[in-house]
Amino acid sequence: MEKTTLISLEKLNQLRLTDEQRDSVLAFFDAQSGRLAELNAIDTESVERMVHVMPIMTVVRDDVEKKLFTRDELQKGAPETLDGYWQVPRLVD
Amino acid sequence: MRYETVIGLEVHVELATESKIFCSCSAKFGGEQNDHVCPACCGMPGMLPIVNKHVVDLGMTAGMMLNCDINRTTTFDKKSYYYPDLPCSYQTTQLFSPVAVNGLVDIETSQGKRQIRIKQIHMEEDAGKLVHDDWSDTSLVDFNRTSVPLIEIVSQPDLHSAEEVIAYLERLRSLLRFARVSDCRMEQGSMRCDVNLSVRPEGSNVLGVRTEMKNMNSLSAIERAIEYETARHIDAIENGTEELVQETRRWDDLKGKSFSMRTKENAGDYRYFPDPNIMPVVIDDEWFDRIKATLPELPEVKKARYMTELGLGEYDAQQLCDSRALCDCFEQAYAVCGNAKEAANYLISDCMNMLNKAGLTADQLSINGESLGKLIKLVTEGTVSRPNAKKILAALFEQDIDPETYAKDNGFIVSNDTDLLKTVVKAVVASDPKTVADYKAGKEKVLMALFGRCMKELKGNCDPQTLREVLIEEVMNS
Ligand SMILES: [Zn+2]
C-alpha cells in the first residue's frame, strides 16, 4: 500500500498516526497483500457468492412499537448533553 | 446548437411503519428530542439490529407497484461515513442485493406518454438531526429520526425536463400513497429528492459533467432548480463562463441559485461491505404472494371503473381517486346503499369540508364506509331529512355510530304523523295573518318564511313535499 493511501484512510477514519505507526501498518498491509494475491489467483467464476457465514436466514420481527429506554438512562454515559440533546463539537457544513 | 438535459432521480420515501427499521422505537414524526431512542438506534456497543418485517413488506409493495423484479434474497450492507447524525459511523443500507430492481413507471406530460426505467429500490435507515447552537457554539444531536425506515428509489437517467420530473414524482407519490407505502408528504420530509443533472448536445450519446442537488423537498423548488442548473450548464459549455466539475450543489430557493458544496467522499470511499449482523432476508413464495394479493387497483383503473360501471362523472371519479381512503370509504358505502352518486357527493363535498376544517388530508379520513352507506340509505328512503343527515354525518365524523340508532335517539326520524303536521301548520298560519295575506295577494316567495317556521317546529323531521302541499292548502283555506 502507498503511504498516500494510508493517509487518506486515516482522514476517512478520523485517525492520526505517527510515522513510526505508519511504517508498521504499511508493513502489515504488505504482508497481507501477498496473501490476497494468492486468493485472487483462484478461479471463482462458477462459485455462487457467499451471502453470510451462518446458515440462518430471515431473522425478522413484527412491526410493534415498544418504548424500552428513557432518554435519561441512555444519556447517563454521555460526556455532554443539553436540553435532552447529545452535545458535540460544532460542525461547519 | 440545441441541448438535451439528462436527469436521474434518487427519491427517498419514509415508510408508514409503527416502529423503526432495526429496533422497536417509535417511527412517528415529531416527539421531544431523543424521546424515540434505544441503545440500538443510538449505536451503543454490543447492540444488534433485527429487521422489521413490515419494512420488507413495504419495500416489496413499492417494487411491485413500480413494476420491478423482487430479489428473493435481499441483504443489507454497511456504508461508512463519519458524521454525528449517524451514531454507528455507518448507515445500514442495501448495495449488493436490493429488494427490487429493473422497474418501469408510466408518466404523462404535454409531450405525451413515456416510461421511465427504475434501476433499483433499496431499504435503508434515515439519519438523525443536528441543531447548531450559537450560544454554546456546539452542535446538538437528536436521534429520533435515526433508523426510521426509508426506501430509496433510483431512476435511470431517463428524464429530460422539469415537467417530466414533476410528472414522475407525482406518479410515484400517487402510487405509493395508494399502496399505503408512505404518506409521501414533501413538506414533512417523508418524500425527498436528489436530482442528478447533466447537459449534452442533442443527438450526442456521451453524458456531460454531472452535478447533484440533494434533499429537495418541494416540487416548485425542484422545478426552479432544474431550470437554473440547465441554464448554468449550457452557459458554461457555450460561453466558457465556468468549468463544470462533478460535484454536489446546494439549491437556495430564496436566492434562486445553486451553490457548490465542499466535495464529499466519493462512492469508493464509502467502503461498502455486507453487514455481518443482519441475516439475509429470503422472500419465499408464500410471502411474495401475500404481498402481491394486497396490491390495490391502480388509481386510473379505479377511475375508469367508477365512470363506466357506476356512472360517476369524470370530476367526481377523479376527486375520489386522489386518495385511497376516499376510494375505500366510497366502495364500502356503495356496497351498503347502492347509490354511487349520493356516496360520492357526501364524500367529496361534506366529508372533504369537515376534513379541511379539522386540518386533515383526505388520506386521514376515518369515517366507517359501512355507516356512511347506512346513513345514505336512511336519506334516500326518506327516513331522515337531508339537513338532519348532515348532523348525523358530523357525529359519524367524530366517532363510529349506528346512524339509525343515533337518529332515533336524537329525534331525527321523519314523522309520518299527518295529524301532527296539520296541527303545526295550522298554528303557524294562524299566528301570521299578514304573511298569509301577502301570499294570497300574489307574493309567492313569502311562503318560504312560513315553510321555514313549520320545518323548525317539526325539527326537520318531515317530508318537504308533503309539508309544502299541506301548507299551501291551509293558507288558501284560511
Ligand atoms: Zn431504537
Angstrom distance (rounded) from CA B143 to CA B123: 19
Q: Which domains does chain B have, with CATH numbers?
A: 3-285 (no CATH), 297-409 (no CATH), 418-477 (1.10.10)
Using left for φ > 0, alpha for ψ between -120 and 50, and beta otherwise, residue B145 falls in: alpha
* Closest Cβ opposite residue B279 in set A58, A71, A85: A58
Which pTM was predicted? 0.83
- Please judge whether A63 and B17 are an interchain contact, meaning their C-beta atoms are less than 8 angstroms apart: yes
User: For residues B167, B170, B176 and B182, what is the CA-based torsion angle, rounded to 10 degrees?
Assistant: 140
The tens place of each residue's pLDDT in chain B, 478 residues long, gives 899 999 999 999 999 999 999 999 999 988 899 999 999 999 998 889 999 999 999 999 999 999 999 999 999 999 988 788 999 989 999 999 999 999 999 999 999 999 999 999 999 999 999 998 888 899 999 999 999 999 999 999 999 999 999 999 999 999 999 999 999 999 888 999 999 999 999 988 888 999 999 888 899 999 999 999 999 999 999 888 888 988 889 999 899 999 888 655 454 578 898 999 999 999 999 999 999 999 999 999 999 999 999 999 999 999 999 999 999 999 999 999 999 999 999 999 999 999 999 999 898 898 999 999 999 999 998 889 888 899 999 999 998 999 999 988 988 888 777 788 888 888 888 888 888 888 888 888 888 888 888 888 888 888 888 888 888 888 888 7
Distance between CA atoms of residues A13 and B270, nearest Å = 11
> CB under 8 Å to B154, separation ≥6 — which residues?
B8, B9, B10, B118, B119, B120, B121, B122
Among A15, A56, A63, A68, pick the best mutation site for testing chain B contact (most B Cβ within 10 A).
Answer: A63
CB-CB neighbors (< 8 A) of B136 in chain A: 82, 87
The cell for B406 is 343515533
Please give the Cα distance from B120 to B102 (Å, whole number).
Answer: 6
E-strand stretches of B264-394: 273-274, 281-282
- The packing angle between helices B369-380 and B324-337, to 10°, is 40
Hey, which residues 6-45 in chain B have their CB within 8 Å of chain A?
A: 17-19, 24-27, 32-39, 42, 44
Q: Could you tell me the distance, in angstroms and rounded to a whole number, from the CA of residue B7 to the centre of ligand 1?
A: 36
Could you tell me if residue A84 is left (phi over 0), alpha (psi between -120 and 50 degrees) or otherwise beta?
left
Model pLDDT, residue B99: 98
8 A C-beta contact, residue B139 and residue A85: no
CA distance B294 to B112: 31
Q: Which three cell numbers stand for residue B374?
A: 347506512
Contact between B227 and B258 under an 8 Å Cβ cutoff? The reply is: no
Beta pairing, strands B100-109 & B69-70? antiparallel
CB interface of A with B, residues 6-65, below 8 Å: 12-14, 49, 51-54, 56-65
Residue B19 C-alpha to ligand 1 middle, in angstroms?
A: 9
Q: CB burial class (10 A; 0-12, 13-18, 19+) of residue A44?
A: exposed
Which strands make up the sheet holding B3-14, listed edge to edge? B69-70, B100-109, B112-125, B149-155, B3-14, B191-201, B211-216, B247-252, B257-260
CB-CB neighbors (< 8 A) of A54 in chain B: 279
Chain B residues whose CB is inside 8 A of the A5 CB are none
Q: Round to whole Å and give the CA distance between B113 and B323.
A: 23
Residues B3/B201, Cβ–Cβ less than 8 Å: yes
What is the rounded distance in angstroms from the CA atom of residue B126 to the CA atom of residue B139?
19
CA distance B75 to B97: 6
Chain A residues whose beta carbon lies within 8 Å of the beta carbon of residue B25: 65-68
Q: Which residue of A has its CA nearest to B280?
A: A57
d(CA B96, CA B77): 8
Residue B238 C-alpha cell reads as 457555450
Chain A residues near residue B181 by CB distance under 8 angstroms: none
Contact yes or no for B435/B449 (Cβ under 8 A): yes
CB contact under 8 Å between B80 and A57, yes or no, is: no
Determine contact: A86 vs chain B, CB below 8 A.
Answer: yes
Distance (Å, rounded) from C-alpha A33 to C-alpha B456?
94
What is residue B417's predicted lDDT score, i.e. its pLDDT?
74
Question: What pLDDT does residue B434 have?
Answer: 87
By C-alpha distance, which of B141, B263, B146 is closest to A89? B141
Distance from the alpha carbon of residue B104 to the mean position of ligand 1, in angstroms? 35
Please give the single-letter amino acid code of residue B138: T
A27-66 pLDDT, tens digit each: 999 889 888 999 999 999 888 877 788 888 999 999 999 9
CB contact under 8 A, A60 and B32: no
pLDDT, residue B267, reads 47
- Out of B54, B97, B282, the one facing A57 most closely (by C-beta) is B282
- Cα–Cα distance between B184 and B177 in angstroms, integer? 7
